[in-house]
Each structure stands twice: as structure tokens, then as C-alpha cells.
Amino acid sequence: PLLFSSFDFCQDKEEKRPSENLGQVLFGERIASSPYKFTFKKQETCKKVCTRSYDPGNSADKSKLAFLKKGMQLNYQHHWIIDNMPVTWCYDVEDGQKYCNPGFPIGCFVTPDGRVKDACVINSEFNKKNTFYLFNHVDITIMYHSGKDENWPGARLVMARLRPQSYKHTDENSLSCEGPPMEIPGEFNDKLNLVYTYSVTFEEKNSIKWASRWDYILESMPHTNIQWFSYIICCNLRCSMPFTSVVCFLSYPVSWQAVILVVSNIVDFIQEDAQEEFGWKLVHGDVFRPPRKGMLLSVFLGQGTQIFIMTFITLFLACLGFLSPANRGALMTCAVVLWVLLGTPAGYVSARMYKTFRGEKWKTNVLLTALLCPGIVFADFFIMNLILWVKGSSAAIPFGTLVAILAMWFGISVPLTFVGAYFGFKEKPIEHPVRTNQIPRQIPEQSFFTKPLPGIIMGGILPFGCIFIQLFFILNSIWSHQMYYMFGFLFLVFIILLITCSEATVLLCYFHLCAEDYHWWWRSFLTSSFTAVYLFIYAVHYFFSKLQITGTASTILYFGYTMIMVLIFFLFTG
């Protein structure tokens, strides 16, 4: 994203910038006051905002106009806010449906070979080859809920929509907002005047209550019903009870295996049948043998616990409405603050598991828990921010905010991790029900499906199948400026993902133990965390099929931020 002032648009002479919270800064939201001034219930028709003139002999003018053309080529969009509500642009699509977008383009472009690009399809007059069409006029409709029927004075704004238009204003003193569109030729040879205008109307809409005024944003996401379709894909059953279907789909085989084991063991005990042990019973003396790289596994478990609790609390609060889109940046702010404050569980789990693994380098364990994964995320984030700084993007985080994040990390999160590790090392190691043999048992030759890699690859398929529909909407909200508000669906998918990952891992671990392979520690972590690999593959598919990103820097930014998301998801699912 770029600041509004980066382009040569009309600027507010008394520009005011509200203070942004941490979430807004991290997401690159920079809100500025607008030169479009309204008075409640005062209609305006074709009112002039400003004029911009460009002389082909002036290098500065050529540079400004070239930058404006580049923005139209890349389909840059305005994002306007009135009374904290996004202003939507609605237009007709196929099958007579209406699609609403929380932003509108600054213009559009017809290529030299006559191909109509982006928003130019909405008007048949946009047809001249190698020509840019600037949306220099907007028709704004503001709807309000009057209080006269409810015996309270005044009114409340409940909806704001606009329609971008392109008009070539030939006479600034007599504006009519009619006629041919505002054309900007691909070759800039003649002097050019761009006049920006707007019209505004107010409509009373008492059918829309103040409490539900954000509901009209639903029209900006016409695929709402596809949310339920994701549960059908998850379980291949009816979507009338999506949660129960998915859980039962996986719970049945796990429960079935457990019941058979219990019953068979009871029968063996009653009959005192001295049968030869087989399957998983043969590895009871090796199953709790500490894993290789136990230090790294304990660190991953601690960090994963921290992310899991953070995600659960954040989604729960969002589901209750405390982190709605109306509270801009609240979701990210809540997530970051919770992560900082949850260093204690991370330190405790990591230290307790490392002690259970009979590790002795406790100082290294504590430092890695506090610094390894957060350090990787911060290094990636810092490199991405350097690129944004160089490109002059509004998403670049100020240096002061980076210092504040470091202060929160080292001043709050790291000490809390040390406190958690202290209590974790004071606790006794987790007691195992059987003693571990001195000599490791030899593992027999494994079949293809009981080898580690095939099991890990298969283990991540089902959890990913539960989330990929939601993943599409989340990526849309991040990269395509769509509004994400379906936190109830997301929380439900979160619970399904938890149970699916857990039960898929339990089931596959049982099969591997039956094959007398007792190396289950890392396999249990990687089976479900391999879902993050499928997430990355889907992100690559989304990049090439849905986005129109050009340039090396933008590509690096996309995959850099995607890797942060993949790492967090890897730790969480593991």
C-alpha cells in the first residue's frame, strides 16, 4: 500500500491524522483526513474539489502523471471511511448479481492492443487503445437512521456507498458532470487539466438499525454460503451438523481401536492366557526413550503452546464481538499483546519436556525457547520492512514501533519465559508408566506406509482439508483488501482443526507402534505440523492464480510474510 499523499490527488489543507494502534501500524493502515467535506443532509451536485494541471515540458509534472498511470496499471484502489464505516462500491456482475467492494480503483487502462483491463469493463466508452481513464468524480450516497420514530434527537449514519465516474470537465466554472470520460493518453504530449468533483446525497434508512449497520459489508463477500460448503468437504456428509460430522468421522476409528484394545486386554487377563506379545506391546520398554534432538523438540513444543493459547483467546474474543472490524487493528493488537504475556506457558512446557527428556543444558533450552522462533520471525519481518522502507510503502513500520516491539519482546516476553522455565525445571519430570530398557530394541523393516515420511505427508492432508476454504478468505483479507468478519466460522474451524490434528496423529502413531517403530516423538509433532507445508503450497497457488503482483520486491514481500505465517502455523499445529 501507498499513502494517499503519494499520488497527486487533492489534499486536505488542514490534514489530520488519528493516532493508530499497534495492529493498524503492523497492517500498514494510515488514515488521513479527506478534502471531500460533507454537511449532514446537505445535498451536493458536481462540486469541485481541486484541479491538477500537467505540463509535458515540466519534468516534475511528467513524473507525477507517470506515477498516476502506474497506479492505474496496477489497479491501485482508494479506501475511504465515513464515520468509521468503509465506503463500498457496488456493481453488477454475472447472473444479475451485485458485488460490493470496500474500495474503488483510481482508474483503469486499455492496452495498446485494445484489451480492456480491470474496471474499464464497466463502461463501453472506455475503449480507446493505449489510454488511461481516470475516475475523477464520485457519486456518494449516505444513508442514515433517524431517531424521530424512536423519540431521540438526531440521526446515525448506517451505510455509505459510492459510484466512481470519469468526466472530462472542459469548463471549470460550469461543471455538469456529464459527457465523455476523462482520457489520459499513453503518450503525454499536450497540456492536461484534471478536475476532481463529487456529488453527495442523503437517504433516510430506518430499516437498518445502528447495531447492524455493518451487515451491509456482507454484500462485499458474495461467497458467504461457501463457508458451510467447507464443512461438507471436511466430512463428505451433510452440512446440517458440520462439527459433529467431522469429529465423529475421525473419533470413530480412534475410539474403535481403543475399545478393541481394552476389551482384548481384559479378556487376556481373565483367561490368563499366556500368549506371546505382539505389535505395540513389544516396544513398551522403548516407547518412552528420549528422542533425538530433544532440545529442539521441547523448544518447538513450548513455542507452539504459546501460539496455541494466543490463537484460542484471540479467536474466542473475536467470536464474542470484542475484536470486530469496526475496532480497526484490534485483532492484531490483541494477538501481539497476548503473545508477549504468554511467555510463561512457553517456558514452562519447554523446560518440563526437556527435563523429561533428561536434558542437562537447561540454560540453552531457556534461551532457545525465548529467542529462536521469535528471532526468526523478527529477522524475516525486519528484512521485509527494509524493502518497504526502500519502496516508500505506507506498510513500512516506523523505527520507533520496531524499538517498541523489541522492548516488549526482551522486556516482557523473555523474562516471563524465564519465570515459566524456572517453575518447569522445579517440577518433577513426567513419570512414565514403564521403565525404559537399557539397550534400544532393533526396529524391523517397515512397509512403505509405516515409514516416517509417507505417514507425515498423509497426516497433514485431512487437517488442511478442514481449513483451506477459510484460508482463501483470510488470504483475500490480507492481500486483496477484503473485509474478514466471520470469526464464528473461523472459531468453529479452529476447534475442528484441533481435534482433527490430534486424532489423526494419535491414529497414525498407533499404527506405527503396532509396526514396532517406537520413534514417535518427532513423528507425532510433524504429522500434524506438515499441514503448514500444504498451507505454503496453497499460498503459492494463490499467488499465481489470484494475485497480479509484479516486481521482485513485491514477490519477496509476499513470500516473506507467507513464511512467517507458515512458521507460526507449523508450531501451532505441531
Between these two residues, 548 and 352, which has the higher pLDDT value? Answer: 352
Of the chain, the percentage scoring pLDDT greater than 70 comes to 87
The whole-angstrom separation of Cα 304 and Cα 377 is: 14
Range with the lowest mean pLDDT among 108-112, 401-405, 483-487? 483-487
Stretch 180-190: mean pLDDT: 86
Tell me, what DSSP letter sits at residue 284? T
**Planar angle of CA 445, 447, 448, nearest 5 degrees:** 130
* Confidence check: pLDDT of 221 > 60: no
Q: What is the pLDDT of residues 131-141, one digit of tens each?
A: 999 999 999 99
Burial class (CB in 10 A: 0-12, 13-18, 19+), 105: buried
Which whole number is the average pLDDT over 269-293? 68
Confidence (pLDDT) at 240: 36
Determine the Cα angle at 113 with ends 109 and 118, to 5°.
30
| Predicted confidence (pLDDT) at residue 249 exceeds the cutoff of 60 | no
DSSP 509-525: HHHHHHTT----HHHHH
6 in any annotated domain:
no
d(CA 450, CA 514): 10
Which stretches does DSSP call E strand in 175-328?
183-185, 192-204
Across 112-126, 139-153, 260-274, least confident range: 260-274
Residue 487 has a pLDDT of: 83
350-405 residue pLDDT tens: 999 999 988 888 899 999 999 999 999 999 999 988 888 887 777 788 888 889 99
Using one digit for the tens of pLDDT, what is the confidence trace for 19-33? 778 887 887 778 888
* Cell output for 248: 465423529
Helix (H) or strand (E) holding 98: strand 98-101
List the domain range (segments joined by +) for residue 144. 36-220
**pLDDT, tens digit, 9 for 90 and up, residues 7-18:** 888 888 877 777
Judge residue 310's burial from the number of C-beta atoms within 10 Å of its C-beta, 0-12 exposed, 13-18 middle, 19 or more buried. buried
Quick one: pLDDT at residue 387? 87
Q: What is the pLDDT of residue 504?
A: 86
Strand ranges (E), 152-214: 155-165, 183-185, 192-204
Domain count of the fold of the chain: 1
- The CA-atom distances, in angstroms, between 210 and each of 140, 206, 213 are 20, 9, 5
Phi-psi domain of 420 (left: phi exceeds 0; alpha: psi -120 through 50; beta: other): alpha
Instruction: Examine residue 192 and state whether it is found in any structural domain, yes or no.
Output: yes
Examine residue 299 and state whether it is found in any structural domain, yes or no. no
Predicted pLDDT of residue 241: 39
Residues facing 143 on adjacent strands: 159, 203
Q: Which residue has the higher pLDDT, 321 or 563?
A: 563
**Mean pLDDT (whole number) for 467-493:** 83
Q: Give residue 263's pLDDT band: very low, low, confident or very high (50, 70, 90).
A: low
pLDDT at 237 (0 to 100): 34
- Cα 574 to Cα 559: distance, rounded to the nearest angstrom: 22
Residue 188 counted as domain residue: yes
Average pLDDT of the residues of the chain: 83
Average of pLDDT values for 506-526?
Answer: 86
Please tell me the predicted confidence (pLDDT) of residue 374.
Answer: 94
d(CA 166, CA 89): 15
pLDDT for residue 218: 65
Q: Is the pLDDT of residue 103 over 60?
A: yes
Return the C-alpha cell found at 242: 458440520
pLDDT at 236: 46
The more confident residue out of 189 and 298 is 298
Q: Does residue 525 belong to any structural domain of this protein?
A: no
Residue range 112-134: mean pLDDT, rounded:
87
As given in the structure block, the three cell numbers for residue 293 are 534432538
**DSSP string covering 422-451, please?**
HHHHHSPPPPPSSPPPSSPPPPPPPPGGGS
Task: Give the HSE-up count for residue 219: Cα atoms under 13 Å, Cβ half-sphere.
Answer: 21
pLDDT at 228 over 60: no
Please say if the pLDDT value at position 426 is more than 60.
Answer: yes
pLDDT band for position 408 (50/70/90)? very high
Please give the Cα distance from 2 to 26 (Å, whole number). 14
Q: How far apart are CA 291 and CA 518, in angstroms?
A: 10
The predicted structure's pLDDT at residue 536: 95
- pLDDT number for residue 265: 53
Residue 556 pLDDT > 90: no
Maximum CA extent, the chain: 105
Is residue 386 included in any domain, yes or no? no
Contact 106, 72 (CB under 8 A): yes
Contact 512, 520 (CB under 8 A): yes
Query: In this structure, is residue 310 part of a structural domain?
Result: no
Q: Are strands 131-134 and 107-110 parallel, antiparallel or unpaired?
A: antiparallel
Nearest to 140 by CA among 114, 177, 192, 190: 177
The 10s digit of each residue's pLDDT in 34-92 is 888 888 889 999 999 899 999 888 888 888 899 999 889 888 888 898 888 888 888 87
Instruction: Report the phi/psi class of residue 157: left, alpha or beta, with left for phi > 0 and alpha for psi in -120 to 50.
Output: beta
> Does residue 313 surpass a pLDDT of 80?
yes
For residue 139, the model assigns a pLDDT of 93
520 inside domain: no
Report the SS3 class of residue 263.
helix
Tally of CB atoms within 10 A around 120: 24
Global pTM value: 0.82
